[in-house]
């Protein structure tokens, strides 16, 4: 039986790319229900979205990419969709790669979520950070910051909970929350475009990087398995 699919796209000031992203999704996945969460854009994003047959949810104030993703996931969950795929509005995540996530879900029915991975995009700093977070959290995923993911209803339920609202980003903390709830995951290699416009929300400045590193380490330690915490402590001594 074919599972119903929603595609969730958080968008803030993406007037240059959002139309191309939607067109590509409509071409590759004509049966998918597209949900775009406009996170209080102050460019022409909202006007462009008005010209498309998609579900548009508007935040009255900017709440960040993760909260926008949650808004979309909650709508998908409450509407009864079996699967939800989260992807960026900046054109980095390719609609042609959606089938890889769906095929992996179909071939691994025991899995609750799939991460679309592209380790080639990682800078040296990112790879060092990924290795640190894998060590602390015990998550065996190469590309920890990829927002290109597929979730089943069990994963959607957890990610739209009040506890998940405390998270600042949609990467490591989200993965740890799902892992600690006993959900199973798999990683699949995908192709990702270079960023067309704008900059990384996390790695755009050293101050943001420092905040991200600190908050993620705290979350990772809090949710890490005891054996992983003890290993890290021994390494630090």
212 pLDDT exceeds 60? no
85 assigned to some structural domain: yes
Radius of gyration of the chain (CA): 17
Tokens of 101: 């996530």
In DSSP notation, 165-234 reads GG-SSSSHHHHHHHHHTT--EEEEE--BPPP-SS--SSSSSHHHHHHHHHHHHHHHHHHS-HHHHHHHHH
Q: Model confidence over 62-79: pLDDT tens digits? A: 999 999 999 999 999 999
The domain of 188 spans: 5-122+143-198
Confirm whether pTM is higher than 0.85. no
pLDDT band at 177 (very low <50, low <70, confident <90, very high): confident
The total of structural domains in the chain comes to 1
Alpha-carbon distance of 173 to 179, in angstroms, equals 10
Q: Are 59 and 68 in contact (CB under 8 A)?
A: yes
135 assigned to some structural domain: no
57 pLDDT exceeds 80? yes
132 assigned to some structural domain: no
The burial of 147, by beta-carbon neighbours within 10 Å (0-12 exposed, 13-18 middle, 19 or more buried), is given as buried
Q: Model confidence over 21-34: pLDDT tens digits? A: 999 999 999 999 99
Q: Taking residues 155-163, what's their average pLDDT?
A: 92
164 assigned to some structural domain: yes
Q: Are 111 and 103 in contact (CB under 8 A)?
A: no
230 assigned to some structural domain: no
pLDDT on residue 230: 47
pLDDT on residue 234: 45
Task: Indicate which CATH number applies to the domain containing 149.
Answer: 3.90.550.10
Alpha-carbon distance of 58 to 46, in angstroms, equals 8
pLDDT on residue 127: 67
**Average of per-residue pLDDT values in the chain:** 83
89 assigned to some structural domain: yes
Mapping DSSP to helix (H, G, I), strand (E, B) and coil, where does residue 118 land?
coil
Alpha-carbon distance of 84 to 146, in angstroms, equals 15
114 assigned to some structural domain: yes
235 assigned to some structural domain: no
């Amino acid at each position: 039986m074919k599972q119903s699919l929603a595609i969730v796209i958080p968008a803030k000031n993406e007037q240059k790319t959002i139309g191309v992203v939607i067109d590509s999704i409509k071409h590759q996945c004509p049966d998918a229900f597209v949900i775009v969460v406009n996170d209080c854009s102050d460019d022409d994003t909202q006007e462009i979205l008005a010209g498309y047959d998609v579900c548009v949810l508007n935040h009255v104030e900017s709440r960040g990419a993760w909260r926008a993703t949650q808004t979309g996931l909650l709508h998908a969950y409450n509407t009864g969709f079996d699967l939800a795929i989260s992807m960026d509005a900046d054109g980095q995540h390719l609609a042609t790669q959606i089938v890889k996530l769906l095929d992996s879900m179909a071939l691994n029915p025991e899995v609750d979520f799939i991460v679309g991975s592209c380790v080639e995009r990682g800078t040296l700093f990112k790879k060092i950070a990924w290795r640190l977070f894998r060590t602390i959290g015990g998550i065996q995923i190469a590309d920890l910051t990829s927002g290109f993911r597929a979730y089943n209803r069990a994963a959607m339920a957890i990610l739209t909970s009040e506890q998940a609202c405390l998270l600042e980003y949609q990467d490591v903390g989200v993965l740890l929350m799902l892992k600690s709830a006993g959900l199973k995951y798999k990683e699949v290699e995908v192709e990702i475009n270079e960023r067309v416009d704008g900059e990384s929300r996390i790695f755009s400045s050293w101050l943001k990087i420092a905040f991200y590193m600190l908050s993620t380490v705290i979350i990772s330690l809090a949710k890490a398995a005891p054996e992983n915490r003890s290993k890290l402590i021994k390494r630090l001594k």
